[in-house]
Structure 1
Amino acid sequence: MESLVEKLRGLSVARRSRPKTPTYLLHAALRPSGPLAASCSGFVIHLHDRHTLDPLGQYRGHTGPLCGLCFAHGSTQLLYSASADGTVRAWDLRSPGTGAAQLFSSDASHCFCSFDLNCSDTLLCAGTEQVNDEDSFLVFWDPRKPDGRPLGVYSESHSDDITQVCFHPRDKDRLASGSTDGLVNVFDLSRGAEEEALLLTCNSDSSASSVCWSGPDYSQLLCLNHDQGLQLWDTVQLDTDQPLTIFSSSDARSLTLLPDGGSLDYLVGGRWLEAAEKLLVVGGANSGDLHLMECDSGGLRLLRSLTGGHTSTVRCFLWDAAGEALVTGGEDAQLLLWKPGRKPPAAEKEESMKSESALKLKSRPHKKHRYHREKTGRNKD
């Protein structure tokens, strides 16, 4: 049987989708079965067929930049999103185009820049931008409660924008957070108060851009930073004398990874591929080329470079294990489906290439920004 790594090496573009209005594609989410969701810089969420990328509908309601998407794990009906407008919203997948089924909010000063839902669908968490030049907050809600009011906040563990919150895939009470203050924290929420819940603090030596759980039992943490550095830690070593760091690079772009002697321009993110027991790290070039790498204690190793797809910076990716496909989205307004051994129809490829010159947008893939909401009003569905 062909290994998953071999399938990655055989990927080519199978489908392309481009919204009518040129816009950045920022985040993507996928259930084990069901539609694909993608958010864009126009504050809109698009639903697509996971196999064809055909549009299935969209959701509008957020009034600020979106900071993430997440499907409910135990329900086939709900999609969650969070935004710098200070709200987390639940959308009914049975009714695309309608308003939010539920709205969660907190203090009027909060602008969210990260969020996640735990594996039991019992807890939502959003991280805020820095408030009053000194504070940032982790805000928690129970999505089963209809009032949308927070259960509480953590306020002492970060001092700058909380760019990532990531629940453990199997432990509903384990949460990792990363911030532009350079810290990555791990909490056991079952312990209650923030001081007791904080299990581990790691220093990423730079502004953290993304964090993900990895390893066979999801006991490892991968952190990418805004300077394109990478750290991989083993949380099992927390109570031992062994070092936490499995691998570290202050700048992955300096590593000689590519056959032609070139290097990366940026890192997109990481994902643990459970079937292959590999940690996949995706990087790219400003031209749109993608580089798929595996990461472990030996460092980064190139698996495959993907060309002929995107024409600008890639912002998001996900691996569809059931469909054996890679999905990517970027600043060229393209959502791409990559499958082993597939080639796009000639007409479809030609059409997408013609529109390349229509979008000349350049940006760092993890650009820190400030979004200021009106203090006196809030959009509600």
Structure 2
Amino acid sequence: MYTLTNIDQHHFSGPEDVYVLEAHRTAAGLATVASDQTLSLFNPARLGAGPVTSLKTGHGNVTTLRVFDAASSLVCTAGENGSVGVWDLRQGARVAQFQAAEASILSMACSANTQTIAVGTELENHVASIHLWDVRSSPSPKATYSEVHSDDVTSLGFHPSSPTLLISGSTDGLVSVHDTTIADEDELTVQTFNHNASIHDAAFLTPTEVFALSHDETFALYDVAEERTDGNATQDFGDLRKVLGCQYVANVTTKLDGSGAILGAGAQDKQNFELVFLAKTPSNAWALDHDNRVVLPGAHGGEIVRSFCFFDDEQVVFTTGEDGNVKAWRAGN
């Protein structure tokens, strides 16, 4: 077990309580979105100095932030009015805004390789859709899928090395992998897995394996390889609240090299947040490494931690929470 120390923080204040929803790393610094409808950029070494840039997003309520190109510091935001904003954080300016959907956007994925933004919508008029947009010049629609899910599309992600593959998760309990080069929606889906619980997060873990995390914290792994066609979980970890002794899982961050993932698990009553590594064992099975978990004591008090991200070079972890804070954590000397 390793313990980190809170070394810096910034508090968002306003007439109403502010939730800091997400944080992501870019070359320009740490990007966050908050419930006061702001997109903010921080110098990660001077968090307490406040945002270097603070921009109003204009989505009604902002729901998601995704990095389009970390090296170029291009990020995307989306929200309840169905619009998407593309922002250049080096310039501190919005470079594009377009109406990507008629319904509220709940999820988004970006691929700089294919210049594509995918958005997933809330169920409205009995339809929950996935829209793909080309942002090469003026954004233009590439495809719309309206029959993949029967309820809110809560999670989207592109394959890390084959960006024409898209994974989606929904409150209908399904996680599906789609080949977006196929025009016919009936033929689009490569594989569907029934997690039997509303999906909070889903993504590619390796080139052929995916994870699914439900809103009631059940966690399982699935294999997209062609020889596995039954759609059953290859490993079912069950309810992580029991497995990890937590009350919720904020999100799961996969490692870019396919070597595993990091789960952020919190407990409000203990004012605690932990990072737990999912890695391969010598027997080639995946396992949660309880012994080497990283503990953030005090976390965000009795409030929920909404997200975490890493600045590996500086060995700093950043967290955001419903207490209005973004915090920096580092191992003690």
Common topology (TM > 0.5): yes
Distance in 2, matches of 1:71 and 1:337, equals 20
Q: Which position in structure 2 is the counterpart of 1:13? A: 6
Q: CA deviation at 1:52?
A: 2.5
Q: Which position in structure 1 is the counterpart of 2:295? A: 305
Select the structure that is richer in strand.
2
Q: Which position in structure 2 is the counterpart of 1:40? A: 34
Q: CA deviation at 1:66?
A: 2.0
Q: Which position in structure 1 is the counterpart of 2:282? A: none
Distance in 1, matches of 2:237 and 2:196, equals 10
Q: Which position in structure 2 is the counterpart of 1:178? A: 169
On the 8 A contact 2:59/2:78 being kept in 1, the answer is no
**Which amino acid is 2:219 matched to?**
L
Q: CA deviation at 1:112?
A: 0.5
**Which amino acid is 1:154 matched to?**
Y
**Which amino acid is 1:181 matched to?**
D
273, 276, 292: which one aligns with 1:293: 276
1:25 aligns with 2:25: no
CA RMSD of superposed structures (Å): 2.2
How has the CA–CA distance of structure 1 residues 219 and 51 changed in structure 2, closer, same or farther, with 3 Å as cutoff?
A: farther
Q: Which position in structure 2 is the counterpart of 1:205? A: 196
Q: CA deviation at 1:292?
A: 1.7
Q: CA deviation at 1:241?
A: 6.7
How has the CA–CA distance of structure 1 residues 202 and 276 changed in structure 2, closer, same or farther, with 3 Å as cutoff?
A: closer
Q: CA deviation at 1:48?
A: 0.6
Q: Which position in structure 2 is the counterpart of 1:269? A: 251
For structure 1, which runs of at least 5 residues remain unmatched after alignment? 1-5, 258-262, 343-381
- The Cα offsets for residues 203-257 of structure 1, whole Å up to 9 and x where unpaired, read as 1110001112223xx4321111111111112223x324787523213321122x4
Q: Which position in structure 2 is the counterpart of 1:62? A: 58
**How do 1:98-247 and structure 2 match up within 5 A?**
98=93, 100-108=94-102, 110-132=103-125, 134-146=126-138, 148-215=139-206, 218-236=207-225, 238-240=226-228, 245-247=233-235
- So what's the TM-score if we normalise by structure 2? 0.88
**Secondary structure in 2 matching 1:322:** helix
How has the CA–CA distance of structure 1 residues 163 and 176 changed in structure 2, closer, same or farther, with 3 Å as cutoff?
A: same
On the 8 A contact 2:192/2:231 being kept in 1, the answer is no
Q: How many residues align?
A: 320
Distance in 1, matches of 2:145 and 2:258, equals 36
Distance in 1, matches of 2:131 and 2:213, equals 23
Distance in 1, matches of 2:4 and 2:260, equals 17
Q: Which position in structure 2 is the counterpart of 1:92? A: 88
Distance in 2, matches of 1:105 and 1:131, equals 16
Distance in 2, matches of 1:313 and 1:233, equals 28
- So what's the TM-score if we normalise by structure 1? 0.78
Distance in 1, matches of 2:236 and 2:107, equals 24
On the 8 A contact 1:30/1:36 being kept in 2, the answer is yes
Q: Which position in structure 2 is the counterpart of 1:80? A: 76
Distance in 2, matches of 1:107 and 1:66, equals 14
On the 8 A contact 1:24/1:331 being kept in 2, the answer is yes
How has the CA–CA distance of structure 1 residues 88 and 181 changed in structure 2, closer, same or farther, with 3 Å as cutoff?
A: same
Q: Which position in structure 2 is the counterpart of 1:319? A: 310
